[in-house]
Amino acid sequence: MYLNHFEYYAPRTAGEAFELVGRLGDQAKVLAGGTDLMLILKEKLIKPQYLIDINGVKEFQGIAYAAGKGAVIGAATKISEVEHSAIIRDKYFALYQAAGELGSVQVRAMATIGGNSCHASPAAETPTPLVTLRARVVIKSAAGERQLPLEDFILGNRKTVLGVGEILTGFILPEPAPRSASRYAYIGLRNAMEIDAVNMAVNLVLEDDGRTIKDLRLVMGSVAPRPLISAEVPAILVGQEFGSELVGKAAAAAAGEARPISDIRASAEYRREMVAVLARRLLQEAFDAAREV
């Protein structure tokens, strides 16, 4: 089956890329890993006149970390590079876990971390831990730059705030707090190439006593049109000593906040149950890990 015709551009610098997206406007699509875009081109769901392949732009790639400041991940960085990065594993464990669970080894070698957020599938793996880790996105165009939290970038199923002429160029991750840990998990039908029925990430910060929760973020994926940040779980747990009774209460609250749908992968009821299961599991794992830091 043939794709529709398009013109192909492969800019070598960020400047060339911004000029192209500005000039070609909404007739163009940016090609990064292609693992989502090529499929929707094959299905003829979109018919762009131009493809702008940003894989040759070095400025959009790579992982940089500065102690005390945090990490910057280029949007065109391959998922496999995130998965195999020692610094991501060491500092941003939930993201390391999610990167390793995405697709298959081939998909991870092709797909990019920016593409995963730009495609904005509600079941996407990496936006969940990125939002949990309070990632900010860097959006650039020929006119300038803006930054915003990732949760404000993703508007819903395949919708982002990205305007004509703009490219998502990277993610900024703050330095993890002392005595903190993050964890990610998902529920799916098999261990590779599945689309998550539910995914979740937790970032938990402890007080000096090693028992009291100082700060907490729990984000759910695939149970709402975009990553869902729990309001109730931190309200129940922050300022409290970690304990199974409170964790059970928090897990039930998370299940209540989820707004899942029933589809081919799971029923809404099952998803809601699994939110509670994952919440209990991840809160415990993150707590145990934070005590070891």
Looking at the Cβ atoms of 53 and 215, the one nearer to other proteins is 53
Which of 17, 21, 74, 80 contacts other proteins by CB under 8 A?
80
Does 189 contact other proteins by CB under 8 A? Answer: no
Does 284 contact other proteins by CB under 8 A? Answer: no
Residues within window 15-34 making contact with other proteins, judged by CB under 8 A: 31, 34
Least CB distance to other proteins at residue 11 (A) = 12
Looking at the Cβ atoms of 55 and 284, the one nearer to other proteins is 55
Cα 154 to Cα 117, 127, 166, 227: the distances in Å are 7, 9, 15, 8
Does 110 contact other proteins by CB under 8 A? Answer: yes
Handedness of CA 41, 47, 48, 49 (dihedral sign): positive
Looking at the Cβ atoms of 100 and 248, the one nearer to other proteins is 100
- Own/partner contacts of 274-278, CB < 8 Å, gap of 24 or more, are 274/187, 274/197, 274/198, 275/198, 275/200, 275/220, 275/223, 275/251, 276/251, 276/252, 277/187, 277/251, 278/185, 278/186, 278/187, 278/198, 278/199, 278/200
Residue with tokens 């129940």: 236
Looking at the Cβ atoms of 110 and 162, the one nearer to other proteins is 110
Least CB distance to other proteins at residue 184 (A) = 17
Does 104 contact other proteins by CB under 8 A? Answer: yes
Structure-token pair, residue 269 = 């009821």
Handedness of CA 154, 155, 161, 162 (dihedral sign): positive
Does 270 contact other proteins by CB under 8 A? Answer: no
Applying CB under 8 A, the span of 64-72, 99-107, 121-129, 181-189 interacting with other proteins comes to 99-107
Looking at the Cβ atoms of 105 and 148, the one nearer to other proteins is 105
Applying CB under 8 A, the span of 2-10, 61-69, 178-186, 209-217 interacting with other proteins comes to 2-10
Residues within window 204-223 making contact with other proteins, judged by CB under 8 A: none
**CB-based burial label for 5 (10 Å; 0-12, 13-18, 19+):** exposed
Does 62 contact other proteins by CB under 8 A? Answer: no
Residue 60 is given by DSSP the state: G
Q: Going by C-beta distance under 8 Å and a sequence separation of 6 or more, which residues neighbour residue 30?
A: 21, 51, 52, 54, 118, 167
Applying CB under 8 A, the span of 19-27, 59-67, 191-199, 257-265 interacting with other proteins comes to 191-199
Residue 285 is given by DSSP the state: H
Cα–Cα dist 256/156, whole Å: 20
Inter-residue contact 173 to 71 (CB < 8 Å)? yes
Looking at the Cβ atoms of 108 and 226, the one nearer to other proteins is 108
Least CB distance to other proteins at residue 110 (A) = 6
Which phi and psi angles does 185 have, rounded to 5°? -155, 160
Contact positions vs other proteins (CB under 8 A): 1-8, 10, 31, 34-35, 38-39, 42, 51, 53, 55, 80, 103-107, 109-110, 191-193
